[in-house]
Amino acid sequence: MIIWFDAVTSKEPLLFDAIAQELEKEGHEVIFTCRDYDYIASLFELLNRDVEVLGKHGGGTLYGKLIAGNERINLLATFINNLETRPDFHISFACPEASRVAFGLAIPIISINDSPHAKAVAKLTVPYAKYLVYSSCINQEKWLSQGALVNQLQPYDGIDEVAWLKEFTPKEETLEVLELSKSDRFIVARPEESSAAYMLEKGIAGQTYLDVILDAIFQMYEGVAVVFPRYQSQKEQMSKKYKENIIIPPKAVDTLSLYYYSDLCITGGATMAREAAAIGTPSISYYPYPLDVLEYITSLGIPLYNEYTIQDAINRSKQLLEQPEDKNNNRKKAKEILESLESPVEKIKQLISSHS
C-alpha cells in the first residue's frame, strides 16, 4: 500500500519517519508532504527523506489561518490527485488541511492527536478520521466531546516519543555544528506557540515571553542558550535582544543530542520538554495550562516540570541550574520507564495491516 504522511509541526518528521521505517519493512511505500514552517523541511532533510513542501503557516490571525489553510488544501489536493497512484491511507498529526483533502478524495485517515485542548483543530480533523490514535492518559470523553465516535478511538499505553527515543544514541558531532563542545555549558530553549489558534487570546501572536525567563537565567548562569524560534518575528525579537548569549541554528540539527549534553531544556510548548525529559535531561514547560500528556510524563517520574506562570518557570530554572540533578540517574530511570511504555507505531502498523 501507499501511505501518505503530512507534517505541519517540527515534532512530526521524527514520529513519521519512525512509523514509515516499520511500514517500509512490511513492503509499503511512503510519501511525505509538509508546510513551509519552522524547521520541518530541514528535519526531513536531516532524516534523508524526500518531502514535498506545500503551503505555509497562516500567522497570528484567524483570517490569515483561514486563507493559508484554503490555499494549502488546493495545493495538497492537486498534488495528491496528480499522483500516478492514489494513496491507500493518510496519516497526519491532526492536520485540518490534509484531513480535508484525504476525506474529499476518499482516502482513509489515521489521525494521531495528543492535544484535545486544541479544540479548533480537533473539530476540523476528528470527524474525518477513520481512526484516532492517542495516548490512553487522555480520557476518551475529551475526544467524544470533540465529535469522535467510540469505534474511531485507538488508545495506546504510552507516549509518542517512545517511537523514536528507544534506540537513541547521542552524537557529539552535533555540538560541533553549533561550535559547542561537551565541556561547554548550555541550555536548549524554545518559545511558545504564540500564533496558534488556542493561544491567540493571550495577545502575543508572533512574540514570546521566553526572553523574560532568559533574562533571569543569564543573571546567574554562565552558559549560553541554543534557541529554536517558531516564527521569524520571534527570531528577530531574540536576535535583537541577545547576541553572544544565544545560538539560533539556521536549520534543523539533532536536537536529541543537544538535550543529552545540555544542562536544561525549557519551552513554552510541549514537544521539546517531553523529548528532553524522556532522555533524562531536566525540562520545563511553561505552557500556561495543564496538558494531559505532560502531567502523565511527570507522574511517571521522568524529570519534566510543568510551570504555569513565567515566575514559576524562572524559579524552577534557577533551582535546576543551581542544584543540578544527577544526570546518570535520570537517564537510567527514564530509559527504564520508556521501555515499559507502548509506542504508537505498533498501533498504526496493526491498523494498516488489518486493511492489507
Q: How far apart are CA 4 and CA 262, in angstroms?
A: 35
Q: Which fold has domain 173-339?
A: Rossmann fold (3.40.50)
pLDDT of residue 18: 96
pLDDT above 70 coverage of the chain, percent: 96
Q: What's the start-to-end Cα distance of the chain, in Å? A: 7
d(CA 258, CA 90): 32
The CATH code that applies to domain 2-158+342-353 is: 3.40.50.2000
**Nearest CA to 55 among 42, 41, 71, 39?**
71
Q: Would the pLDDT of 200 be above 70?
A: no
Burial 220-238 (b: 16+ CB within 10 A, else e): ebebbbbbbbbbebbeebb
- pLDDT at residue 56, rounded to an integer: 93
Q: What is the DSSP string of 231-293?
A: SHHHHHHHHHH-STTEE--SS---HHHHHHHSSEEEESSSHHHHHHHHHT--EEE--SS--HH
- The CATH 3.40.50.2000 domain(s) of the chain lie at 2-158+342-353, 173-339
Total-model pTM: 0.91
Q: Measure Cα distances from 207 to 58, 154, 167, 191, 197 in Å.
A: 15, 36, 35, 8, 14
- Taking only the tens place, the pLDDT of each residue in 333-342 is 999 999 999 9
pLDDT digits (tens, 9 = 90+) for 254-290: 999 999 999 999 999 999 999 999 999 999 999 999 9
Q: Which secondary-structure segment (H or E) carries 131?
A: strand 131-135
Residue 198: predicted pLDDT: 52
40-72 confidence digits (pLDDT tens): 999 999 999 999 999 998 887 889 989 999 999
- Split at pLDDT 50, 70, 90, the class of 197 is low
Phi and psi torsions of 247, nearest 5°: -125, 125
The single-letter code of the amino acid at 134 is: Y
